Amino acid sequence: MTVAEAPIAAILDRLAKLHPKLIDLSLDRMVGALARLGNPHLALPPVIHVAGTNGKGSTSAFARAFLEASGRTVHVYTSPHLVKFNERFRLGAPGGGRLVEDAALAKILLEVERANEGQPITQFEITTIAGLMLFARHPADAVILEVGMGGRFDATNVVPRPAVSIITPVSMDHADYLGDTIPKIAAEKAGILKRGRPAVISLQTPEAMAVIEAAAEAMRSRLFVSGLDWFARAENGRFVFQDEDGLIDAPPPRLAGAHQFENAGAALAAVKTAGFSMSPAAVERGLQAVAWPGRLQRLTGHVLAALPTGAELWLDGGHNPGGGAVLAEAVRTMQARQPKPLVMIAGMISTKDPRGFLDHFRALAPQVLTVPFGYPAALPAASLADAARSAGLAATACDSLDAALAAVATEPGGLPPRVLITGSLYLAGEVLAKDGWVPA
């Protein structure tokens, strides 16, 4: 940690003590604190509000890429961060946005802390307020707000009239907070829909879609639904998008995985619905410029050097059953194209469903090495290995990531392995830091 970062860590530590619960879904504290600060959420550029279980971050990244490729400036608020807290706040600027600098972030956090006057408030709420204040004070063409959890009572859900809302695929996650069925979770996600404001909906299960449609009808919110109002697909290796304006045929997204075609489509539909014109050339530039670390990202730095010569290394922060499904499909495509021995290095937190995540990899028959990592709720490696075995996978618990990397071997006369590190964004952050990745 640098000297400049130290004040931010100290402020965040103080803020974490203002509320006994890390997560307490409610908007009352947000409304009161925003009022004391002059309601900055009412002075934002047009807002694209993004909820969903899987694909929120990637969809937000595509929306940003399309807007910047068309010459617009865009602020972005996302969570969690991977290596540095500042990653949560991106300020729009001509030629491309930049992460908020340490001094500016510390200053705004202190301002919010003082205005809060020691009142109970969660850390996520107060950092969300800081982001809203930063975005209100710096001109831009648009703001992308990614929901932290759920939607209805998420701290970001204070903007009364977003330009457009997005709901990415809904699946099981955070059941302790959002409900233990898909309809209950979908109802929380649909809570971001605003009266009379449009929303773009990614592919959903029928039960999730029924809930979203009912919520939209109650709010008189017009839906633009994947497969009905817009289509995004891979065709002959290219990205094909079609809506009422016509068809765009472009090179594939820079982000790996078939699921990224849907995420790119949702983002493109949303920026157009929000009123931003988008030429085919801008779409092509956005697809090639998009970056979203820790999501099926191929690593070529320090961590790869610990593996056998010729090994292939991938990193993905997927951590719930829905994420496991799309990740397993992406790996299956890799294996079909170029078969290699598959090794999974997995770490997860205790509030997730490890069996539900790992079940999707059974047909791929990977060797699984489980690891601990530096998050308080990280699942013990031995417990995760037991979950992997219950899913029918051969698993070994390792004492550390370094031990797991050292355990990866190439069989004599065999092909070098394909290694996938996965199971948690917190683990992904540790891997990226070890790999030398610097957020920008």
DSSP state string for 374-421 = SSTTBPPHHHHHHHHHHTT-EEEE-SSHHHHHHH--PPTTSPPPEEEE
Least confident of 22-31, 69-78, 310-319, 361-370: 22-31
Indicate whether 4 pLDDT > 60: no
The predicted pLDDT at position 5 comes to 58
The predicted pLDDT at position 93 comes to 95
Which pTM value belongs to this model?
0.94
Number of separate domains in the chain: 2
Q: Residues 131-151: what's their mean pLDDT?
A: 97
345-372, pLDDT tens digit by residue? 999 999 999 999 999 999 999 999 999 9
State whether 305 and 271 are in the same domain: no
Indicate whether 110 pLDDT > 70: yes
Domain residues for the domain of 20 are 6-289
The predicted pLDDT at position 137 comes to 97
Better pLDDT: 16 or 301: 301
Residue 170 zone, left/alpha/beta (φ > 0; ψ -120 to 50; rest)? beta
- H helices, E strands: number in the chain: 15, 17
What are the distances in angstroms from CA 359 to CA 130, 258, 295, 389, 396? 40, 20, 19, 10, 16
Give me 281's structure tokens.
């050339």
Burial class (CB in 10 A: 0-12, 13-18, 19+), 430: buried
The predicted pLDDT at position 6 comes to 65
Give me 43's structure tokens.
């002075």
Domain boundary among 289, 321, 352: 289
Give me 47's structure tokens.
């807002």
State whether 314 and 285 are in the same domain: no
The predicted pLDDT at position 19 comes to 75
State whether 102 and 244 are in the same domain: yes
Give the three-state DSSP class for 211: helix
**Which residues fall within 8 angstroms of residue 41, CB to CB, at 6 or more apart?**
34, 132, 136, 158, 159
Confidence of residue 286 (pLDDT cuts 50, 70, 90): very high
State whether 336 and 262 are in the same domain: no
Query: Residue-wise over 252-291: b if at least 16 C-beta within 10 A, else e?
Result: bbbbbbebbbbbbbbbbbbbbbbebebeeebbbbbbebbe
Least confident of 31-45, 94-108, 112-126: 112-126
Domain boundary among 237, 262, 289: 289
State whether 182 and 306 are in the same domain: no
Give the three-state DSSP class for 435: helix
Q: What's the CATH number where 77 sits?
A: 3.40.1190.10
Q: Are strands 342-346 and 367-370 parallel, antiparallel or unpaired?
A: parallel
The predicted pLDDT at position 411 comes to 74
Rg (C-alpha) for the chain, rounded Å, is 21
Q: What's the CATH number where 319 sits?
A: 3.90.190.20
State whether 404 and 269 are in the same domain: no
5-37, pLDDT tens digit by residue? 568 989 888 888 887 666 667 799 999 999 999
In a domain, 127, yes or no: yes
**Which residues fall within 8 angstroms of residue 145, CB to CB, at 6 or more apart?**
47, 48, 49, 50, 77, 156, 159, 162
The predicted pLDDT at position 1 comes to 46
Distance from C-alpha of 124 to C-alpha of 126, rounded to nearest angstrom: 6
Indicate whether 175 pLDDT > 80: no
The predicted pLDDT at position 109 comes to 95
Query: Angle 59-230-195 (CA atoms, 0-180°, nearest 5)?
Result: 75
Query: Angle 61-50-114 (CA atoms, 0-180°, nearest 5)?
Result: 95
State whether 56 and 180 are in the same domain: yes
Distance from C-alpha of 8 to C-alpha of 426, rounded to nearest angstrom: 19
State whether 50 and 117 are in the same domain: yes
In a domain, 1, yes or no: no
Indicate whether 412 pLDDT > 80: no
Domain boundary among 270, 289, 308: 289
Q: Mean pLDDT over all residues of the chain?
A: 94
State whether 10 and 40 are in the same domain: yes
State whether 199 and 112 are in the same domain: yes
State whether 258 and 328 are in the same domain: no
State whether 39 and 124 are in the same domain: yes
Question: Among residues 175, 40, 7, 82, which one has the least CA distance to residue 438?
Answer: 82
